[in-house]
Amino acid sequence: MRSGALAAGEALPPVRRLAADLGVSPATVAAAYRALRLRGVIETAGRNGSRIRHRPPVAGQRGARLPATPAGVLDLAAGVADPALLPDLRPILARLPSAEPLRHLAAAALTDDGVDLTGGAIAVVGGALDGIERVLGAHLRPGDAVAVEDPGWANLLDLIAALGLHPHPVPVDAQGPTADGVAAALSAGVRAVVITSRAHNPTGACVSAGRAAELRDLLRRHPEVLVVEDDFAAQLASDPLHPVADAVPRWAFVRSVSKPYGSDLRLAVLAGDQETIARVEGRQRLGTGWVSTILQSAVVGLWTSPTADAVVADARRRYDLRRSGLIAALAGHGVGATGHSGLNVWIPVPDETLAVTRLREAGYAVAPGAMYRLATPPAIRITVSRLPEDGIERLAGAVARAVAPAVPIAGRA
C-alpha cells in the first residue's frame, strides 16, 4: 500500500493461494489478514474475499483520496464550504476578545437547541473528528462494534477502522438513521451509536422530532451503550435540532465551527456526561494539552459578531437554494436525488466509476459513493457549496447523461 503496488479497492489473493505462493501455512496468512482488518487496511467482502479498503489508514503513493482537480474542472467533490460565503476573520483577529466566555456561549446555545446539560459538562476539542475520536477512545476497545450511518461520513468510517473498531451499518432515510436499523444494531450488541443531527453527509438527512423520539426511547432501553451525536453543520442548518444523545447515561454531543466559519478553524465544543468529558480532558492533557486560546478567542469573536451572523445566514440561504435547485433540476431530467439539508446531494447510480468519469470529462469533479457507504447501493455525492446558481441546469443535464446506461459498441458482446 505504501509503495503503491496495491491500490485502494484492489482484491487480495485467497488465503490458501497466497499461503502456497509464499510457502507458509494458511493459518499464518489468515492471521495476517485478520491483523490488517483490525488496523483498517483491508475489509472482508463476504464471498468476494478480502480487498484493500477504499480509504485505508496507510499513507501510500496511490491512496483513496480524491484525485487533484485539473484546470477547467469545477470541484463539486471536496465537501468544503464556499470561501466566498465565509465571514471575514481579519476584523475579529484585529481585536481578539477573551476566550473565557466560549464554554458559557456554547452551553447557552446548546441549551437553547434543546440539549439537556443537567449534570453534564463541556470541553473544547480540535474539531468534530478529534472530539469523536477522544470519546470513542475513552470508552471502547479494539474489536468493539459501533453503529454508524450507511451511507455515512467517510472520515468517521476511516477513524473507526483505524481504532480497530467494527462498524455496524444502519440505514438512513430523510429523517436520519432508521429506528429499525438502530434497533437491529442494539440487538447485535454494539457498544456505541454515532448519529448525525442535521445536514447528514452525504445524504442531507435531518433527524426529525418524531425520529428523535423513537431513537431516544430505543436507546434508553440500553443504558450501557455510548451515544455520540455530531451536529457539524451547526448554524448552517436550516432545520431545528432534535437532540438524541442526552437520553442515555454515557453520551457526547459535538458541534464544530468549521462549516459555518471556515475549515481552518479546527475547533469544536463537546458536551457530555461528567465522566466522558473528564476522560476526554484527562487524555487531552497528556497530548495536545488544550486547544489554542487564540483560536478559542477567534471563535468567541465570531459567535458574538452580528456581521458574522449575517454572513452565515446568507450562506445558509444560498446553500439551500443551490441544493434544492439541483434536486429539482435533476428531477426534471428523471434523476432521483436526496438532499434535505446541508451541502451535499446524494444520487444513486448504476455504475459509480462510469458516472464519475463521465462527469469529469464534462468538467465536473464529484465524489464516488464508495467512500461513504458500507452496504448501500452505488451512488455519487455532489457538494453544492461552489456550484453557481446559473450553472445548476447545465450540471443536471450532465448528471443525467452520466448516469445513463453505457451504449455497447457495435460488434462487441
pLDDT at 65: 54
Q: Given pLDDT bands bounded at 50, 70 and 90, which one contains residue 99?
A: confident
Are residues 330 and 348 in contact, defined by beta-carbon separation less than 8 angstroms?
A: no
Residue pLDDT, tens place only, 199-214? 999 999 999 999 999 9
Phi and psi at 250, nearest 5°, equal -110, 110
Cell numbers placing 171: 440505514
State pTM to two decimals. 0.81
How do the domains of the chain map onto residue ranges?
1-65, 74-82+308-402, 89-303
Are residues 144 and 165 in contact, defined by beta-carbon separation less than 8 angstroms?
A: yes
Task: Give yes or no for residue 297 having a pLDDT over 50.
Answer: yes
Task: Give yes or no for residue 95 having a pLDDT over 90.
Answer: no
- Rounded Cα–Cα distance for residues 125 and 285 (Å): 11
**Percent of the chain beyond pLDDT 90?**
75
Residue pLDDT, tens place only, 26-79? 889 988 988 888 777 888 766 678 888 876 666 554 344 566 788 889 999 888
Handedness of CA 171, 174, 179, 182 (dihedral sign): positive
Fold of 1-65: Arc Repressor Mutant, subunit A (1.10.10)
Average pLDDT value for the chain:
91
pLDDT at 410: 53
Residue pLDDT, tens place only, 123-155? 999 999 999 999 999 999 999 999 999 999 999
Query: Whose CA is closest to 165, among 186, 185, 188, 137?
Result: 137
Fold of 74-82+308-402: Aspartate Aminotransferase, domain 1 (3.90.1150)
pLDDT at 49: 82
- Rounded Cα–Cα distance for residues 102 and 397 (Å): 46
pLDDT at 42: 84
Task: Give yes or no for residue 404 having a pLDDT over 70.
Answer: yes
Tell me which of 222-226, 322-326, 347-351, 403-407 is least confident: 403-407
Q: Given pLDDT bands bounded at 50, 70 and 90, which one contains residue 408?
A: low
State mean pLDDT over 315-327: 97
pLDDT at 333: 97
Task: Give yes or no for residue 161 having a pLDDT over 50.
Answer: yes
Task: Give yes or no for residue 413 having a pLDDT over 70.
Answer: no
DSSP 3-state of 66? coil
- Rounded Cα–Cα distance for residues 10 and 235 (Å): 40
Q: Given pLDDT bands bounded at 50, 70 and 90, which one contains residue 409?
A: low
Fold of 89-303: Aspartate Aminotransferase; domain 2 (3.40.640)
pLDDT at 83: 87
Task: Give yes or no for residue 218 having a pLDDT over 50.
Answer: yes
pLDDT at 64: 46
What residues does 42 pair with on adjacent strands?
A: 52
pLDDT at 58: 61
DSSP characters over 99-160: STTHHHHHHHHHHHTT---TTEEEEEESSHHHHHHHHHHHH--TT-EEEEEES--HHHHHHH
